[in-house]
């Protein structure tokens, strides 16, 4: 039995649909569902389980760190990837004359955030245009100068799966005394990321796609040596590592004398999504059990097969053929009509009105037969539109 078939049993929803849409949101694994339920069961049995909750959070933090080859003290939990991006944006203290470099394949949150910063602070946003679905390193290099404060990219583009070499970008940024921020939501869980080897300064990542985690939980990686330069977005009780109480009768916490976390936990200033953390722990344990290397190879193999089949049948790719990611996007007219055609045949992919693109994102739990059937139905749809069936 193929390893992917063995682990399909973890995803009951796969029995009713050919799900090729992980870049949108992963199906729920049974172990993740049970972990989220277990948190509620614990609360039902013992509403004051703070010690157990904290222990689970620290175990999960360690699992994230191990996945990224980071230190646990460089990992903060968040509710979305955008939280980490905003920490970086606030901590840069941008001013007129500074610039931030990004590209036109960036996620809308990133484009919007940096554009608003430019409007507010008078800095410059330099947006590098893609060429046939990829952003050449030379084009980024030409946009960066000694006034660049940050290169901000999606490691893997949500639009078409183009993937950067973060190590090259980090070298470029550091040569100009700039920093590198990667939104790795569309990469971590599908492909490996070693933050030490890549020398990336910040990584933001939502857990509900390739990592198989719940919605509403994410993490933010920040190099330890940068943490004193980048302040939290707010202040609250969760930043206190050790309480000191007043000497008077009230015995209220004396916050002036309390100890505070000096690592990435400083960014968790209020209650975190503990139920989501429980689910994330189960997701990370599942990823470790299956094997990160195997998941990456399986995901890349499926996408290579898909891209080959699409090209063989006359479809035009927006994704660079050799992009090492889990996303394959191709061009088509009447994308919403095609989406409806596929939905009627129990296929789940992503298409956006007016984009003339369809995004397909198979993960390790998919099969070669599902890929072949998908292309088969694409050909059927083209025939129904009066096109060639070749």
pLDDT per position in the chain (390 positions), as tens? 466 666 899 999 999 899 999 999 999 999 999 999 999 999 999 888 788 999 999 999 999 999 999 999 999 999 999 999 999 999 999 999 999 999 999 999 999 999 999 999 999 999 999 999 999 999 999 999 999 999 999 999 999 999 999 999 999 999 999 999 999 999 999 999 999 999 999 999 999 999 999 999 999 999 999 999 999 999 998 999 998 988 876 778 888 888 999 999 999 999 999 999 999 999 999 999 999 999 999 999 999 999 999 999 999 999 999 999 999 999 998 888 999 999 999 999 999 878 899 999 999 999 999 999 999 999 999 998 886 655
Containing domain of residue 321, as a range?
A: 3-20+291-384
Domain membership of residue 389 (yes or no) is no
State how far the Cα of 17 lies from the Cα of 93, in Å rounded to an integer. 48
Q: Which residues contact 241 (CB under 8 A, 6 or more apart)?
A: 258, 259, 260, 261, 265
Q: What is the CATH number of the domain that holds 319?
A: 3.90.1150.10
Q: Are residues 8 and 114 in the same domain?
A: no
Q: Report helix angle 50-68 to 274-290, nearest 10.
A: 40
Of 288, 321, 337, the residue at which a domain comes to its end is 288
Pairing between strand 99-103 and 148-154? Answer: parallel
Number of folded domains in the chain?
A: 2
Q: Are residues 183 and 315 in the same domain?
A: no
Q: Please report the pLDDT score of residue 140 as a whole number.
A: 98
Q: What is the CATH number of the domain that holds 238?
A: 3.40.640.10
Q: Are residues 203 and 151 in the same domain?
A: yes
pTM of the model: 0.95
Q: Report the first-to-last Cα separation within the chain, whole angstroms.
A: 33
Q: Are residues 74 and 223 in the same domain?
A: yes
Q: Are residues 45 and 89 in the same domain?
A: yes
Domain membership of residue 26 (yes or no) is no
Of 242, 267, 288, the residue at which a domain comes to its end is 288
Domain membership of residue 25 (yes or no) is no
CA 62 to each of CA 77, 152, 195: distance values in angstroms, whole numbers, following the listed order: 12, 26, 15
Q: Please report the pLDDT score of residue 385 as a whole number.
A: 86
Q: Are residues 9 and 84 in the same domain?
A: no
Of 288, 310, 345, the residue at which a domain comes to its end is 288
State how far the Cα of 298 lies from the Cα of 362, in Å rounded to an integer. 10
Domain membership of residue 213 (yes or no) is yes
Q: Are residues 227 and 115 in the same domain?
A: yes
Q: Are residues 202 and 66 in the same domain?
A: yes
Q: Within 10 Å of residue 248's Cβ, how many Cβ atoms?
A: 8
347 with 376: CB under 8 angstroms? no
Q: Please report the pLDDT score of residue 219 as a whole number.
A: 98
Please work out, in degrees rounded to the nearest 5, the angle formed at the alpha carbon of residue 368 by the alpha carbons of 134 and 361: 35
Domain membership of residue 390 (yes or no) is no
State how far the Cα of 66 lies from the Cα of 352, in Å rounded to an integer. 36
Q: Please report the pLDDT score of residue 388 as a whole number.
A: 63
């Amino acid at each position: 039995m193929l390893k992917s078939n063995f682990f399909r049993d973890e995803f009951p929803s796969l029995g009713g649909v050919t799900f090729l849409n992980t870049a949108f949101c992963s199906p729920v694994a049974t172990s993740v569902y049970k972990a989220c339920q277990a948190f509620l069961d614990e609360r039902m049995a013992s509403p004051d389980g703070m010690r157990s909750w904290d222990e689970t959070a620290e175990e999960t933090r360690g699992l994230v760190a191990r996945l990224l080859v980071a230190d646990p003290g460089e990992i903060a939990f968040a509710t979305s990837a955008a939280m980490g991006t905003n920490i970086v944006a606030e901590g840069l203290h941008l001013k007129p004359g500074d610039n931030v470099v990004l590209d036109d394949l960036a996620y809308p949150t990133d484009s919007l955030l940096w554009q608003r910063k430019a409007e507010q602070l008078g800095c410059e946003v330099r947006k590098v245009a893609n060429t046939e679905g990829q952003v050449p390193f030379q084009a980024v290099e030409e946009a960066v100068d000694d006034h660049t404060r940050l290169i901000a990219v999606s490691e893997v583009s949500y639009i078409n799966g183009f993937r950067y070499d973060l190590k090259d970008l980090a070298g470029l940024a550091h040569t100009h005394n700039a920093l590198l921020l990667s939104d790795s939501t569309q990469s971590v869980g599908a492909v490996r990321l070693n933050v030490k080897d890549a020398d990336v300064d910040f990584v933001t990542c939502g857990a509900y796609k390739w990592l198989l985690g719940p919605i509403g939980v994410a993490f933010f990686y920040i190099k330890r040596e940068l943490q004193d330069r980048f302040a939290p977005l707010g202040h609250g009780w969760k930043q206190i590592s050790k309480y000191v109480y007043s000497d008077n009768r009230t015995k209220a916490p004396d916050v002036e004398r309390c100890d505070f976390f000096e690592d990435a936990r400083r960014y968790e200033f209020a209650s975190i999504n503990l139920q989501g953390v429980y689910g994330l722990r189960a997701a990370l344990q599942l990823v470790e059990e299956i094997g990160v290397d195997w998941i990456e190879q399986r995901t890349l193999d499926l996408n290579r097969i898909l891209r080959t089949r699409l090209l063989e049948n006359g479809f035009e790719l927006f994704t660079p053929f050799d992009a090492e990611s889990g996303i394959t996007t191709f061009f088509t007219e009447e994308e919403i009509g095609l989406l409806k055609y596929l939905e009627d045949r129990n296929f789940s992919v992503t298409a956006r009105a007016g984009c003339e693109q369809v995004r397909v994102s198979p993960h390790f739990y998919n099969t070669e037969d599902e890929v072949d059937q998908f292309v088969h139905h694409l050909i059927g749809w083209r025939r129904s539109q009066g096109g060639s069936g070749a």
